[in-house]
Structures are given as C-alpha cells and as structure tokens.
Amino acid sequence: MPVEDYVPAFDGAAAVEVKIFRDVHEVIAVAHEFGYVLSEHRVQSTGGPIRLRFIRDDGEVAQRRAAWARYHYRVNGSWWATALPPGVPPGAISPQEAGKHRLKLFLLTRHSLPAVRLRAVLLMMGLVVISVWLFFVSWVLIPLCLGVGVLYLVNNPVGPGRRAELEARYRGALARFEAQRVFWSYDGRGESG
C-alpha cells in the first residue's frame, strides 16, 4: 500500500495504530508531519505485519507542523512540502530519511541501558548453555551459535559511550532535518521554521 494511503489515518485522533509490512520509516515520516509521535513498535513473531502505535503530540510546534502538512496535502497532496520545500539545497534530508533516524532513535532509547545489558547477559548465558549442549550433539554448530551472540552485541550498543554516540548522531540528523523546514504557502506567504 502506498504511504499516501496512510495519511487519512492521522486525522487528529489522540492515538493511531497502523499495521504495515514494509516501509515503516515512511509511515513514521507521515505521522511526524501530521503531529504524531511513535509510542510503540511491535514486530509479530509469526511474520505478520509490524504494528506501530502513535500518539498525538499536542505541543505548539507539532500542531503547527500538522496544520501546514494538512494545508499542503489538501492543496496538492504533498504532505512533505514544508519539510522539503522548493529550492532546498542538494544533500538535504528527506522526510523518509528522517523517518529512518526517528525509528532508529526510538528503538535505541525505548529500553534503558541496564535493561539492554540484562538482555545481553541472558542471551549470552542461554547461548553458552546451548553451546555446551551442542558440544555433545553437533559441535560443528557451536561457531554459528556464538556468532549469533556476537552479532547481537555488535548491533545492540551495551556500553554507555556507544549508545550516547548513536543517540547524538540520530538527534543531530533530526535537528538538521527540522532546520531545513520552511512554512510556505501557494499564495506567497510563509515563514521559516
């Protein structure tokens, strides 16, 4: 389903739930432009759709951004017009790219650092138990089992320095994205974000 089909879901309700199979970052971009914040990201273990839950951001900036997105969407269907205005310099961050950074930031910060460390320890303990069992059953699979643990540790920052570095990178990209915003209208009036 094209991302534009999700625009009507963000009609100003207090909470919105969307189920989608792919292009999650695009739905997050639409939600942000229409004044919503991601509050839940759940992947079903059965291979079903990804469930996203959004709550309306009642802040002044978010409501202003949503009003302009609705205006542009009504006029010509371009919900992204204030985020990527005409004449934006090359190398500007697109709303979809900002949606990727928003998703990464959400996934990084939704659990506290101690909770992430606890998960890593429990996973490593489980993998050690499985490796000992595999030693007696099929020792050839032990490197594969330990490789899963290493991949988990590489992809989930368990140290405060790495986590802070990633968070700063994502927040910096989102700040650059918001800085390029211009609230403009088709009648020539408008203002910088």
In the three-class reduction of DSSP (H, G, I as helix; E, B as strand; rest coil), residue 175 is classed as: helix
145-149, long-range: CB within 8 Å, 24+ apart, which pairs?
Answer: 149/123, 149/124
Residue 159: DSSP 8-state = S
Cα separation, 162 vs 42, in Å, equals 24
Q: Distance between alpha carbon 68 and the CA centroid of its chain, in Å?
A: 22
Write a three-state SS string for 5-31. Answer: HHHHHCCCCCEEEEEECCCHHHHHHHH
Overall pTM surpassing 0.75 (yes/no): yes
Q: Which helix (H) or strand (E) holds 147?
A: helix 142-155
Contacts of 48 (CB under 8 A, 6+ apart): 19
Closest CA to 12 of 63, 83, 51: 63
Cα separation, 177 vs 74, in Å, equals 23
Cα separation, 33 vs 64, in Å, equals 10
pLDDT the model gives residue 39: 95
Walking along the chain (193 residues) 10 residues at a time, the average pLDDT comes out as 79 91 90 94 83 94 90 84 76 90 92 84 86 81 83 78 91 92 63 52
pLDDT the model gives residue 187: 57
pLDDT the model gives residue 3: 72
pLDDT the model gives residue 14: 93
pLDDT the model gives residue 8: 87
Q: 100 and 22 in contact (C-beta within 8 Å)?
A: no
User: For the chain, what are the domain ranges?
Assistant: 3-110+159-192
pLDDT the model gives residue 188: 55
Cα separation, 102 vs 117, in Å, equals 23
